[in-house]
Structure 1
Amino acid sequence: MKIKQALDFAVEPVEPVEEAASLKGLRARERLIEEASRIFADKGFAKASTREICLAAGQNVAAIHYYFGDKAGLYRAVLQRPLEGMASVFAQLSAPELTLEQALHLFMSALLCPWGHDEQAEWCLRLHLREMIEPTHEYKDVIAQHILPLHTQLVELLARHVGATQVDDALHQLAFALAAMVHDYGMSREFMNVLAPSLLSGDGALDQVLSRLVGYGLALVEHERRVRQGG
């Protein structure tokens, strides 16, 4: 009986040590990003203290070096957070079966929704707004490595739908115009909440906003197509 009990205990499934350590590491990394988002948004990159971030995240002072290399690496990870979900969406823009309307819906929903309405989203939004006033070298790296590929995919999509054989400045301008329409719902949210309180509140509000933005986008692309045809 004792032998059987010992064998039963020996084969009882337990969480592997490596898996437990990996999960613990993922949680620690996530906590650092969460707290860094808040502190960077509040103080900016230069004034934020790595010690303060580690203390808020419940990690030792060496954690940032372990998970991100240095303070700049952590900052880039924070800046990249709202962009992570966009890459998979933008990759779909090249699908030949997509209509322009479907493609614009994918693109605009990706830009409209990543900010969300929770505290984490607000911190990310504030941080990106801060970067527009006080741009850092790290932000330029994020633009080159993560935003440029997304912009390129959008411009190539527009080129196909306006009949352009190669990308030119007018297509870049069109891409900027489309993105700006959507970005404004994040960047100017506080103004909108004062000037038009019901616009972004209530069930289905964002869906209605998105539907109209797609319609405006279709009109812009059609205008560019007609200009190129001499209309």
Structure 2
Amino acid sequence: MSQDQTKARLIEAAGQEFAGKGYQHATVRAICERAGANLAAVNYHFGDKGGLYAAVLKEAHRCGRQETEEFEGDGEADPADRLRAYVRSFLERIFIRNAPSEWHHQLMLRETLAPTAFSEALVREAIRPRFEYLKGLMREICPDADDRRLSALVFSVTGQCLYYKFAARVSEHLIGPDALRQLDVDYLADHIASFCLAALGRGPALGRAGGPAREDVVPAGRG
């Protein structure tokens, strides 16, 4: 195995360990065993456990930037459609369950909930670009909103998405596992986007049954 291959395997193995156990509980020994590498390899390539964690976060940042660039490349689409696409992508990421190839999303969520000394880089390189993208989208939908309201709108959309990740166990007790499973990504993406747009007067208002309640509102992205 070449040095570059060893380094890549260590980052992948460490990403899975850190995402699953957190920085404090993940061990260098377990990471090296998962990577099939010698214990000395971490010191050789990264200096110590902290250096390895920084490299793992950098890889997670890189994936986050790629996803943000994909959204930004669709700037000609209707704002309502872009909001739905953003919400759907967000939900798909946070619903990931123990997928080894998707550890970077799990790690970013863990770092958000329990920040380490490395969280500043996570915010700067991974979270802020997505925040600014969604804030710009809200500005298109609500051109008269001031900066304070735009920030609150971003947090509102984000909070609705994150609820289904962090309150899953409570929600299961409230409505039952079968009913909770019916709230899949497709349903929730449409619900959250429609709910937000209706609240902002940029889409059909929701009636008692969840459908349009009136027709005198401005379609999303127009007016």
Q: Is the 8 A contact 2:17 2:31 kept in 1?
A: yes
Q: CA deviation at 1:158?
A: 1.2
The verdict on how the C-alpha distance between 1:42 and 1:144 changes in structure 2, with shifts beyond 3 A counting, is same
Aligned equivalent of 1:112, options 91, 94, 103: 91
1:191 CA drift (Å):
2.7
Tell me the amino acid that sits aligned with residue 183 of structure 1: L
Gaps of 5+ in 2: 203-217, 219-223
Coordinate RMSD, CA, aligned: 3.6
Task: Indicate the residue corresponding to 1:141 in structure 2.
Answer: 121
Q: Offset at 1:169?
A: 1.6
Q: State the Cα distance separating 1:63 from its structure 2 match.
A: 2.9
Report the structure, 1 or 2, having the larger helix content.
1
Cα distance, 1:68 vs structure 2: 4.6
Partner of 1:44: 22
% identical equivalent positions: 28
Q: Give the counterpart letter for 2:124 in structure 1.
A: A
* 1:209 aligned residue (185, 188, 196): 188
How many Å apart are 1:208 and its aligned residue?
1.3
- 2:19–2:104: 8 Å Cα contact kept in structure 1? yes
Describe the SS at the equivalent of 1:97: coil
Give the aligned residue type for 1:103: R
Judging changes above 3 Å, is the alpha-carbon distance between structure 1 residues 29 and 195 closer, same or farther for their aligned structure 2 residues? farther
Task: Tell whether the 8 Å contact from 2:83 to 2:137 is kept in structure 1 after alignment.
Answer: no
In structure 1, the partner of 2:169 is 190
1:89-129: CA deviation from partner (whole Å, max 9, x where unpaired): 43334744211221112211221112423343897677556
Residue 152, structure 1, aligned to residue 118, structure 2: no
**Secondary structure of 1:222's match?**
coil
Task: Give TM-score scaled by structure 1 length.
Answer: 0.67
Does residue 71 (structure 1) correspond to residue 71 (structure 2)? The answer is: no
Taking the aligned partners of 2:89 and 2:18, their CA distance within structure 1 comes to: 24
Are the aligned partners of 1:174 and 1:220 in contact in 2 as well (CA < 8 Å)? no
* Contact 1:125–1:187 (8 Å) recurs in 2: no
Question: How many correspondences in the alignment?
Answer: 200
Give, in whole Å, the separation in 2 of the partners of 1:53 and 1:96. Answer: 41
Letter in 2 for 1:51: R
